[in-house]
Amino acid sequence: MSSIYIPNTRAFNGTLKNQIPFNTHVKKVGGYGIIDSLIVILLLSNYLCTHVNAVTEEPPKMLGQKMVYDPVNDRIILFGGSYYSNHYTFYGDTWSLEVGKATWTKLNTRGSPDARFNIGMAYDGDQKKIVLFGGFSAIDRVGDTWIYDTAANTWTAVTPQVSPSRRSDMGIAYDSGAKKVVIFGGYGLGDRILDDTWTYDVEVNTWTQMAPEIHPTARYGGIMVYDSYTEKVLLFGGHMNQDGRSIGYDNEVWAYEYESDSWERIPTTNKPPARYWHDLSYDPERHRIILFGGSGGGGNDLGDTWIYSCEDSSWSRVTSAENPEMRSQPSMAYDTSTRMTVMFGGADFKVQGEFLYYNDVWALDENDQWRRLSAGTPSASGSSESSIPGFQPIALMTGITLAAMILVFVKRRKFQALPCQ
């Protein structure tokens, strides 16, 4: 009599062995219980689908999320974002991206900020922690401060005695020389556009409002990075506002020095077109800033790439064989291990009131060539989930199909109930 072959579960080093609830009072086929066989097939299907041809989880399509590079764990951390289709959907998940493998992991953190987008987020390399401030949430713009401990995988809300006012769309960067997080401007409550400068000391949990005599014009959507070459925080772009009215978009570079509490405009050559809601990354090895995309206003989203040399204050446009689609409010971070600038998400304003959203991943390599690491998903919802937790949809279908085939097979045979062994 022939038998149905079920692989030895010990071959999986215990992965399946302890998961199989063998039934002791069932009819057996070739020494295995029918129910036992069906369970093993389902588990094997799930194992093979998740380990051999894994369905990769990834963030959904979004804009306004932020990314920072975590050098200790060699990964990029992403938080927040939003999607608009007749109403806002706010995201409050924390994700990590392993750039070398182009794989995302949703982190099951202890504690978490409320869902929001257009936040301020910076990595404190001295404390090995991520600082998050403000953003636009379901209740309006917020002004809370959170700390993410990368080692403990924990978000903690902190309550400094003094804090900046509620806002989104501010510029933010960590000044490693001064050991302070610096923020400038942003979009405040009541549509007020801000022009204040604040610093935050993670170690003592203190916000301090600075008082520079000269500072950039009030703005939102400007982006900041810290330049280790000049030891200053650099600001580029933004939607400017004066006396409650828009005065256009900026394409100047401003530098902030913490020690002297001073801003100065840096004369530059060959400037990119003015914009806001772009993003920047900083290459610490070559002392340069990478700029991509943004909005030129009036639904005019951009898809150009520029490099700013911090050593000679000059801009140059990148010519790449392949380029990301034009978009605003993407997120970027520089991965020092791969020496690449990584970009994720954003949206392109297509027609009145509608955006084309993205959740693709791109990387600009050492030769200043873009390449797509992940195409993202065709749907707006991001990753698919199975109806049974822990089982991939393809695994369920495979297991059910095999189970049906076994039932048809065994119905044609005679069974004999055997005692427990």
Q: What does the alpha-carbon distance between residue 175 and residue 232 come to, in Å, rounded to a whole number?
A: 7
Residue 227: beta bridge partners? Answer: 232
What's the pTM?
0.78
Please give the residue that has the higher pLDDT: either 418 or 268: 268
**393 & 255 share domain:** no
pLDDT at 12: 30
Residue 381 lies in a domain: no
Please give the residue that has the higher pLDDT: either 46 or 341: 341
- Asked whether the beta carbons of 98 and 78 are under 8 A apart, the reply is no
**272 & 359 share domain:** yes
Q: What does the alpha-carbon distance between residue 47 and residue 41 come to, in Å, rounded to a whole number?
A: 10
Q: What does the alpha-carbon distance between residue 82 and residue 169 come to, in Å, rounded to a whole number?
A: 13
Residue 117: beta bridge partners? Answer: 136
pLDDT at 56: 55
Residue 382 lies in a domain: no
**72 & 48 share domain:** no
Residue 107 lies in a domain: yes
pLDDT at 2: 34
- Residue in the structure block whose two tokens are 């403990």: 152
Task: For residue range 145-185, list pLDDT tens digits in order.
Answer: 999 999 999 999 999 999 999 999 999 999 999 999 999 99
Q: What does the alpha-carbon distance between residue 359 and residue 375 come to, in Å, rounded to a whole number?
A: 7
- By residue range, what is the domain housing residue 31? 9-54+389-410
Has residue 131 got a pLDDT over 80? yes
pLDDT at 299: 85
* The token pair that represents 391 in the structure block: 């089982």
CA distances from 196 to 111, 180, 192, 398 (A): 30, 16, 12, 59
* pLDDT, average across residues 34-63: 58
- By mean pLDDT, which of 29-33, 306-310, 374-378 is the weakest? 29-33
Has residue 37 got a pLDDT over 60? no
Has residue 421 got a pLDDT over 70? no
- Asked whether the beta carbons of 357 and 63 are under 8 A apart, the reply is yes
DSSP calls for 31-92? TEEHHHHHHHHHHHHHHHHHHTS-------S-BS-EEEEETTTTEEEEE--EEESSSEEE--
- Residue in the structure block whose two tokens are 């020690």: 259
Mean pLDDT of the chain: 83
Residue 168 lies in a domain: yes
Residue 119 lies in a domain: yes
Domains in the chain, number: 2
pLDDT at 403: 55
- Asked whether the beta carbons of 137 and 168 are under 8 A apart, the reply is no
**296 & 223 share domain:** yes
Of the chain, the percentage scoring pLDDT greater than 70 comes to 76
User: Across 3-12, 17-26, 283-292, which has the greatest mean pLDDT?
Assistant: 283-292
Q: Among residues 149, 150, 127, 224, which one has the least CA distance to residue 185?
A: 224
pLDDT at 187: 98
Task: For residue range 62-111, list pLDDT tens digits in order.
Answer: 999 999 999 999 999 999 999 998 889 999 999 999 999 999 999 999 99
Has residue 355 got a pLDDT over 90? no
Residue 265 lies in a domain: yes
What pLDDT band is residue 350 in, cutting at 50, 70 and 90?
confident
**170 & 318 share domain:** yes
Please give the residue that has the higher pLDDT: either 322 or 57: 322
* pLDDT, average across residues 209-226: 98
**99 & 240 share domain:** yes
Has residue 38 got a pLDDT over 60? no
Residue 415 lies in a domain: no
- By mean pLDDT, which of 62-66, 224-228, 241-245, 321-325 is the weakest? 241-245
Residue 129 lies in a domain: yes
For residue 385, which phi and psi values (nearest 5 degrees)? -125, 145
**301 & 270 share domain:** yes
* pLDDT, average across residues 338-358: 88
